[in-house]
Structure 1
């Protein structure tokens, strides 16, 4: 492999990285282009979180033994490269003497390894911030040359910078979204909310000013409907700009339940220390679940259980209200339930329900963190 071809492949990858704005398509595209322009045959990328848990986010040209059962042997088990990364010992591109994941796949006889027995590995990072590792392998190759490892390091540097750029862009978009939510919440509070409040005062005055029973009833109906709309608007404003989350997830959920007129009994097992995205998802799901209880369950009390495990958190919200008949083959009975499922799936979690007419509903949420 000569210097000219190395420069060409690095240039092509740089162009691709500059064009892509989505993380996973960017990683897959760069890996595809890298393998296509070098002597490496296959490759895969792990993202590794703060707890050292690896996640397979991209792979290209894997042999049959490694693609078995949705890449089972790559997704599970331990290996030297991930351990070195966790211990902050993986500083540069390195040859791997043995790989437990590849060895397990070969021993399992689940497919053709196609001559892949060893791989090289390199950390993906930007400055001191580390994201994961890039692994590459070639058929019937135990060791890679210094030139090949140097090229691998150059590509890893490009990928690390691109990953950091996309993370910063996503962070800026999240900040912009929060600012827009706050602006909309202020506008609703200053306009529609105040207008509804004025209508309730006007209808109350109308009740006191007339002696006509029919007119009084009309004003009372207007007052009741307006008060209900006012409660809905306050809940919407609270969803857009939750107050109290800064003092803790459970307190924020309790405050929201109280605002809806619900008594919420909460039981927590474990320490609530989550990434902000998981915390917000738990909060938004709880909001939607409590809204469903207020609107449909016909009860004023609910229970919430939060259980924190080493790798995920389980949220259970249950009531003893009307319940509903759940047909597994049919669409979900409300947009609220679909929203809960979508929020959970967006961060790799799951949402399930147990419900029966007249016997209440139990919502079960599991989110990784």
Structure 2
């Protein structure tokens, strides 16, 4: 590093990634941290989801289509950076790559230009007015995890500090990506094993009960066809079927509770909605659950989810936020949810009141009606460090709809 300021900014950028074990959230934040670290116009992060393809997972400073194609091994600037184990630079024109530039460690053969001409990320960058792009591989233990990209719109060479910062940032990011990938795979394996156990349990229990029901029904049909069925036999067979069906229903209900314990149903739904929002909007978002989750009524669950969705919808449309957090808090008498962003905030904090005669689906006033109908309270507030928060609390006990 040439500058102590660069070192400090690198440490701060790496520290900003600490604690993230979800790969999607990690990549989103890494892209933003990288953009701020290098101070260039564009930053992007591609992830090696499969051994032979790089997929752009996040970009800042330009719009990348959600349907951008994968880059196969041996093609594109990212894979060239992996192959060279270096930070190659390409100069772009309106129609794509025009030339490549030597790095401090590697003399670039212009024949390599042919291998990056069809890079979909470079085509998007060129359409965004980017004139130079530098790439840096992210690897760990000989495995390729992804690639970092930085672009500038000015037609001037990158400062020497840019590839140096890229290299150091990639070194800090790599072990975090390994942890995230390992955690995801461990979770997938655990889920697969649990599903296999439940499937076997259902086969051994509910399956046998259903088989017994089938035999009883078959016996009824055969006795009816033979004219041997009397009232006593019919009543006994019906009771047997009812008994076996109740046992099978109980087993299936237990299996469902095993898949998603009742107390975890609401946190699982909130996490899913927050993750979907982050993927759709490109805004890093996290879900925080405080207290011990307990089973809540369908009314409370549906209302909390409605608050989360309305809050995230407003953040996406109005807040100009860089991060969002959704905090679900379980307290002795109620459950609360706070959707907090770090965006432009509220000039005046409005009082949220329902609009008489209006449908419940109309924005915050309609949401207020819905929360009040569930016995809860809804409010808007300014964040201590900027941004805005949407807070709702609902009682855990039964309430009148």
In which range does the TM-score fall when normalised by the shorter chain?
0.3 to 0.5
Tell me the TM-score normalised to structure 1 length: 0.48
Higher relative contact order structure (alpha carbons within 8 Å, sequence separation ≥ 6): 2
Whichever structure has more helix as a proportion of its residues is 1
